[in-house]
């Protein structure tokens, strides 16, 4: 059976120092765990063929498909604030690019497909747990309407990988609008390779910001575009309680997509200082810190672009600072607009920001569940029964005081209770990939080779804004003994 990918290779056509040509390392006995059939079709690929044994071999890296030009991309990065001049794809190989049904160019990358010249003594492999986590969370983010890389397939390799213990090996097929990172720009800037920075910038403009090519100052427009998309992305993360966990510059995509789901997690009870990542000991990437870290990362990108902004360094710095200065307003506008939507406001008035912040403060003080508080508030908007929201608060009176002010505010708007209820349900999910659910799925797969819980969780998360009464338990926060307090990188 012929497995055909209509590959193109615009990134592989860049100069040789942008990547290393390297083939995936064959594995013993690949077995398909999950194929994202809808995504495959959208990419112009045949799900039936990909589901075949030959398809599984390609998705595991055992067989290189016709037309592929496998490469590992070079990049650098600040990791927890410390600069590493060479990182690169240490366990990921880009097979090529396809044009999807919307006309968008997409990378198809195998993650966990063996060592590359950038592996730094690593084995280039991935364990099953992190592959399942990335599949679940990336597809949940997509269903929530948040820009993200996607998961096309997960394959178990038939081999084991050595971590703290021996674990089942797996490969994730990741789809992204590109894998260009802030760290990719840093790779060339750190070497004083201005031509490399320019070639990469031109490629990023052509791929992600074609309108910038027509601007009077294309590289300024590129930076403006990345700043705008990252500001919007941070707002979207915060509005669903998402914590990336490892926002290094090499995990910051210039396309504005969420990328690299390592120790990521969703909050249960609201806590602005919440950290799950086991390696984030100082809370650098805590929930509420994410916007300022995004700006920090964007500042590193701006530093790389300085030679392209102006021949006069002082002028280039001034121009970059002006563009970076727009981040705060763009983030705040998107975030506050989203918060107003979450509490059912259709208009913007003085005092709204304080009203929402008072709710968040009460939620933090009373350990209220972030997702359920807002979801249940939508029901209150319809039937005026507060019990389901009050139950989220250690001291229900804290909600009562706030709810009186909220009711007064929504009474000033002409929309009906039915309209408000529907609008709030569209932005307040019932279902998120809660940590204890993800962990239970991983344990069932690793310990019992049982993927039924994985399939069921994916099915529930594909419709996060629907009630799904038969799966109501998936909306519930963990019991105390079920809480997952730490998540781990997938290396």
Each residue's pLDDT tens digit, 258-287? 999 999 999 999 999 999 998 998 999 999
Contacts with 85 (C-beta within 8 Å, 6 or more apart), sequence order = 76, 186, 187, 190, 191
* pLDDT, tens only, 339-396: 999 999 999 999 999 999 999 999 999 999 999 999 999 999 998 889 999 999 999 9
Better-scored residue on pLDDT, 39 or 485: 39
E strand or H helix at 151, and its extent? strand 150-162
Looking at the predicted structure, is the pLDDT value of residue 491 above 60?
no
Looking at the predicted structure, is the pLDDT value of residue 181 above 70?
yes
User: Nearest-5° angle of CA 265, CA 127, CA 151?
Assistant: 60
The fraction of the chain above a pLDDT of 90, given in percent, is: 93
User: To which residue do tokens 């998961």 refer?
Assistant: 151
> What pLDDT was estimated at residue 5?
87
> What pLDDT was estimated at residue 76?
98
* pLDDT, tens only, 412-469: 999 999 999 999 999 999 999 999 999 999 999 999 999 999 999 999 999 999 999 9
Contacts with 196 (C-beta within 8 Å, 6 or more apart), sequence order = 15, 17, 18, 187, 188
Q: Sorting pLDDT into bands at 50, 70 and 90, what band is 489?
A: confident
Catalytic residue of the set 89, 232, 250, 280: 250
> What pLDDT was estimated at residue 384?
80
Compute the distance between CA of residue 266 and CA of residue 237 in angstroms, rounded to an integer: 9
When mean pLDDT is compared across 183-197, 274-288, 329-343, the lowest value belongs to 274-288
Running DSSP on this structure, what letter comes out for residue 148?
B
Q: Sorting pLDDT into bands at 50, 70 and 90, what band is 1?
A: low
Compute the distance between CA of residue 350 and CA of residue 175 in angstroms, rounded to an integer: 43
> What pLDDT was estimated at residue 485?
79
433 alpha carbon, distance to own chain's centre? 13
- Name the pairing type of β-strands 166-176 and 105-111: antiparallel
Q: Is 256 left (phi over 0), alpha (psi -120 to 50) or beta?
A: left
**Over residues 223-235, mean pLDDT:** 98
Query: Rg of the Cα trace of the chain?
Result: 23
256 alpha carbon, distance to own chain's centre? 9
Compute the distance between CA of residue 112 and CA of residue 56 in angstroms, rounded to an integer: 14
Catalytic, 123? Answer: no
**Over residues 160-173, mean pLDDT:** 94
Residue 417, class by beta-carbon neighbours within 10 Å (0-12 exposed, 13-18 middle, 19+ buried)? middle
* pLDDT, tens only, 126-149: 999 999 999 999 999 999 999 999
> What pLDDT was estimated at residue 457?
98
Q: Sorting pLDDT into bands at 50, 70 and 90, what band is 116?
A: very high
265 alpha carbon, distance to own chain's centre? 10
Closest CA to 376 of 356, 363, 392, 357: 392
User: Nearest-5° angle of CA 175, CA 181, CA 182?
Assistant: 165
Q: Sorting pLDDT into bands at 50, 70 and 90, what band is 2?
A: low
- For CA atoms 60, 61, 66, 68, the dihedral sign is positive
**Over residues 215-225, mean pLDDT:** 98
**Over residues 310-327, mean pLDDT:** 98
Coil, helix or strand at residue 321: helix
pTM of this structure: 0.97
How far apart, in Å, do the first and last CA atoms of the chain sit?
34
Contacts with 107 (C-beta within 8 Å, 6 or more apart), sequence order = 11, 94, 96, 97, 174, 175, 176, 177, 178, 179
Number of residues written out for the chain: 491
Looking at the predicted structure, is the pLDDT value of residue 490 above 70?
no
Q: Which residues partner with 78 through β-bridges?
A: 83
> What pLDDT was estimated at residue 164?
86
Closest CA to 236 of 322, 112, 331, 317: 331
Residue 408, class by beta-carbon neighbours within 10 Å (0-12 exposed, 13-18 middle, 19+ buried)? exposed
**Over residues 35-48, mean pLDDT:** 97
User: Nearest-5° angle of CA 92, CA 93, CA 95?
Assistant: 145
> What pLDDT was estimated at residue 85?
95
Quote the mean pLDDT of the chain: 96
> CB-side exposure of 405: number of CA atoms within 13 Å?
14
**Over residues 163-180, mean pLDDT:** 96
> What pLDDT was estimated at residue 135?
98
> What pLDDT was estimated at residue 173?
98
C-alpha dist (Å) from residue 241 to 118, 295, 406, 478? 33, 19, 22, 15
> What pLDDT was estimated at residue 4?
75
> What pLDDT was estimated at residue 281?
87
Give exposure, 192-211, as e/b (b: 16+ Cβ within 10 Å): eeeebbebbbbbbbebbbee
- Name the pairing type of β-strands 105-111 and 92-99: antiparallel
């Amino acid at each position: 059976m012929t497995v055909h990918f209509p590959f193109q290779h615009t990134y592989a056509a860049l100069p040789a120092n942008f990547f290393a040509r390297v083939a995936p390392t064959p594995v013993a006995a690949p077995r398909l765990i999950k194929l994202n059939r809808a995504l495959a079709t959208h990419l112009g690929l045949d799900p039936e063929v990909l589901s075949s044994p030959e398809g599984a071999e390609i998705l595991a890296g055992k067989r290189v498909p016709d037309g592929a030009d496998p490469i590992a991309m070079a990049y650098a990065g600040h990791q927890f604030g410390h600069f590493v001049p060479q990182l690169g794809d240490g366990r990921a190989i880009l097979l090529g690019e396809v044009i999807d049904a919307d006309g968008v160019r997409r990378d198809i990358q195998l993650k966990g497909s063996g060592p590359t010249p950038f592996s730094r003594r690593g084995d280039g492999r991935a364990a099953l747990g992190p592959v399942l986590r990335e599949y679940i969370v990336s597809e949940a983010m997509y269903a929530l309407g948040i820009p993200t890389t996607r998961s096309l397939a997960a394959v178990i390799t038939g081999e084991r990988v050595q971590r703290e213990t021996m674990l089942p090996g797996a490969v994730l097929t990741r789809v992204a609008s590109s894998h260009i990172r802030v760290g990719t720009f840093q790779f060339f800037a750190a070497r004083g390779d201005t031509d490399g920075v320019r070639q990469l910038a031109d490629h990023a403009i052509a791929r992600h910001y074609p309108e910038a090519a027509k601007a009077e100052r294309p590289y300024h427009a590129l930076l403006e575009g990345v700043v705008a998309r990252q500001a919007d992305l941070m707002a979207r993360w915060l509005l669903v309680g998402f914590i990336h966990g490892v926002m290094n510059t090499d995990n910051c995509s210039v396309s504005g997509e969420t990328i690299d789901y390592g120790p990521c997690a969703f909050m249960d009870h609201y806590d602005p200082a919440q950290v799950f990542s086991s390696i984030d000991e100082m809370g650098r990437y805590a929930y509420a810190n994410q916007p300022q870290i995004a700006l920090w990362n964007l500042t590193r990108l701006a530093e790389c672009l300085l030679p392209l902004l102006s021949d006069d360094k002082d002028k280039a710095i001034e121009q970059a600072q002006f563009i970076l200065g727009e981040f705060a307003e763009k983030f705040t506008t998107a975030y506050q607009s989203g918060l107003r939507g979450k509490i059912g406001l259709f208009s913007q008035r003085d005092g709204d920001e304080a009203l929402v912040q008072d709710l968040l403060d009460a939620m933090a003080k009373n350990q209220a569940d972030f997702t359920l508080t807002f979801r249940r508030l939508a029901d209150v908007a319809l039937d005026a029964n507060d019990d389901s929201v009050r139950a989220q608060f250690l001291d229900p009176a804290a909600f009562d005081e706030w709810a009186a002010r909220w009711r007064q505010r929504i009474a000033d708007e002409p929309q009906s209770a039915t309209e408000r209820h529907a609008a709030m349900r569209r932005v307040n999910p019932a279902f998120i990939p809660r940590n204890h659910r993800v962990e239970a799925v991983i344990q069932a797969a690793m310990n019992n080779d049982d993927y039924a819980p994985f399939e069921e969780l994916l099915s529930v998360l594909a419709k996060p804004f629907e009630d799904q009464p038969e799966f109501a338990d998936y909306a519930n926060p963990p019991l105390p003994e079920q809480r997952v307090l730490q998540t781990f990188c997938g290396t």
